[in-house]
Amino acid sequence: MEVQQIKQRFGIIGNSYGLNRAIDIAMQVAPTDLTVLISGESGTGKETFPKIIHQFSSRKHGQYIALNCGAIPEGTIDSELFGHEKGAFTGAHESRKGYFEVVNNGTIFLDEVAELPLSTQVRLLRVLESGEFIKVGSSKVTKTNVRVVAATNVNVVKAIEEGKFREDLFYRLNTVPIIMPALRERTEDIHLLFRKFAKDSAEKFRMPSLSLSQEAVDLLTNYRWPGNIRQLKNITEQISILEEKRNIDAITLKKYLPIFEGSKLPALYKKEEEQTFRSEREILYKVLFDMKKDMGDLKQLVHDLMDQGVDKDDISEDNARIMKSLYNKTDTSVAEPDSDEKSLIIPREQDASAQIQDTEEFVEESLSLVDKEIELIKKALEKHGGKRRHAAEDLGISERTLYRKIKEYNIDL
């Protein structure tokens, strides 16, 4: 069957080289049982090509199922794909067949395959290599004969570098790659697609079809289309419903084209230098290390002040006040130092090294993890007026853990 016949049968619009090349590859690989990975931006029409591959394969009389891996919760995806035995987990009141067992001798399309958890990726790799899998809660190996066609809009190479996708699974899925071009790379097809969607909208909403001025056609062609074909279809339907004029000019069209500065959809936001803590102990370690660094900085500051002029006659009054405050502010609850504290203020004529030694002795404090943990818990509780839930959130631990710590250390609320 020729490429043009394929387009008519599956409703594919366009004549660009990238589109024709993708259809040609799909037709060549269809009679084989090779695994296919379809890559391309969101909204480029990747979901049509698994149907082409299935319909022109020897499995066309078998079942075809399309699954969106990103839409299945991580906790149930293994059960959905591979099935489970009765009692395998809470709520498993009876055994259930998974999609790989149901679609035996057919084709399964895994859309957004890069969203699969790593543990599920291991199971999928075994299916692809040996046709075997084990149901959740079972020890019996089950055989299946399924052809897998996968698709993703994620940069898989980058996902591999970040440890989010298995490299061996990528090479196993990518036996035959099909790359779907973005709509901005199919400029000659954009107006054709607009006319098709305008015609469909006119029939659907029972109104005259739209037409574009030449300036509007140029604007439509030069737009980047971050949402690709899906975005073009939505905008065409919006104009069909909202505009009374049927001949659309560039000024009118521009109102429906949002400004876009990115490169592709979906846009993902990632915090830079994001830091997470697995337990409250890690928080305490970080606090201790920060305190140690602050102590080192304070010692260095005192040493520099000593070197700069403690023993000189022309020391400034500001430096003198700083030196005194370093000793006197140790106990903020007392306005004036007592006799013992005054003895710690060393005269200027004394040796600087002795002053540093006394300073270290004065500011030395306990580095016990338990003491610091109790201190942090008390501060958090005081800050939030004894409300354990808010205090636990501030400490980065669960309320249950905070309650246990309060009881363990016998902290008074």
Dump the DSSP string for 210-237: PEE-HHHHHHHHHS--TTHHHHHHHHHH
Q: Which pLDDT belongs to residue 355? A: 46
Tell me the domain boundaries of the chain.
3-179, 184-254, 301-363, 369-409
CATH class of 369-409: mainly alpha
Q: Which two tokens stand for residue 19?
A: 């589109």
Burial class (CB in 10 A: 0-12, 13-18, 19+), 315: middle
pLDDT digits 0-9 by tens, 303-349:
766 666 544 444 455 555 555 555 554 444 444 444 444 444 444 44
The answer to whether residue 162 scores a pLDDT higher than 90 is: yes
Average per-residue pLDDT for the chain? 82
Q: Which pLDDT belongs to residue 270? A: 43
Q: Which two tokens stand for residue 283?
A: 């928080």
Fold agreement (3-179, 369-409): no
pLDDT digits 0-9 by tens, 46-87:
999 999 999 999 999 999 999 999 999 988 999 999 999 998
Q: What does pTM read for this prediction? A: 0.62
Strand partners, 133: 142
Question: For the domain with range 3-179, which CATH number is right: 3.40.50.300, 3.20.20.10, 3.90.1710.10, 1.10.10.1100?
Answer: 3.40.50.300
The answer to whether residue 296 scores a pLDDT higher than 80 is: no
Domain 184-254 in CATH 1.10.760.10? The answer is: no
Q: Which two tokens stand for residue 276?
A: 């997470």
pLDDT digits 0-9 by tens, 96-151:
999 999 999 999 999 999 999 999 999 999 999 999 999 999 999 999 999 999 99
Burial class (CB in 10 A: 0-12, 13-18, 19+), 157: exposed
Dihedrals φ, ψ of 261, to 5°?
-115, 0
For the ranges 14-23, 50-59, 290-299, which has the lowest average pLDDT? 290-299
How far is C-alpha 355 from the geometric centre of its chain's CA atoms? 53
pLDDT digits 0-9 by tens, 205-251:
899 999 999 999 999 999 999 999 999 999 999 999 999 999 999 99
pLDDT digits 0-9 by tens, 373-400:
888 888 888 888 888 888 888 888 888 8
Residue type, 286: K
How far apart CA 379 and CA 312 sit, in angstroms, is: 43
Q: Which pLDDT belongs to residue 358? A: 45
Q: Which two tokens stand for residue 262?
A: 């990115």
Residue type, 113: V
